Amino acid sequence: MKALKYIVPLAIFAILCVFLAVGLTKDPRKVPSPFIGKPAPAFSLARLHEPAATFSPEDMKGKVWLLNVWASWCVSCRVEHPVLNDMNRRGLVPIVGLNYKDQRADATKWLAQHGNPYTLSVWDFDGKVGIDYGVYGAPETFVIDKQGVIRYKHIGPISPQDLETILLPLLAKLNA
């Protein structure tokens, strides 16, 4: 009975430690997206390279595709870009770029410089479509299935490991 006096606080402390330890492993920057399992919000935006032509997610119905949010001012996008180029070379999946809050000239120059892995990019100058997709930083990548439903959102740059362990299995599943 006497021992209980020491065991109870110790047990409470241990439980607290477990909670704090779990908390440490979580990245507070990765906010769960409310869009998973929901249809991709509709939009119609001018394309980056052909301002006269538009694109809307409807155009991709029947295909599994990625919507990648990028900008020429975005430092992490440079980190991610080789992975996107590699995906494009391997012909893994069509990638549509959402050029977010960027100048058209800066964006096209940036792609000319770093390579253009995108099937096409759309130009979201005022970030309105970004808000509709709950974008709060770049890069962010949405995986959208054949029915136009968002299945996954990747926050931050896609690393080569992310590609192998998360994206490729998911794409294989969605394309099956």
Q: Which residues bind to another protein, rule: CB under 8 A? A: 28-29, 31-34, 101, 126-127, 131-134, 136-137
Q: What three-state secondary structure class fits 86?
A: helix
**Cβ at position 33, least distance to another protein in Å:** 7
Strands, sheet with 65-70, edge to edge from the N-terminal-most edge strand: 120-124, 95-100, 65-70, 140-144, 150-155
Residue 26 C-beta: closest distance to another protein, Å: 12
Q: Which residue lies nearer to another protein by CB, 132 or 162? A: 132
Cβ(40)–Cβ(55) under 8 Å? no
d(CA 7, CA 40): 52
Is residue 73 classed exposed, middle or buried when 0-12, 13-18 and 19+ CB atoms within 10 A define those classes?
Answer: middle
Closer residue to another protein, CB minimum distance, 23 or 28: 28
From the CB of 133, what's the least distance to another protein, in Å? 7
CB of 172 to another protein, least distance (A): 28
Given the complex with another protein, which of 93 and 122 has the nearer CB atom?
122
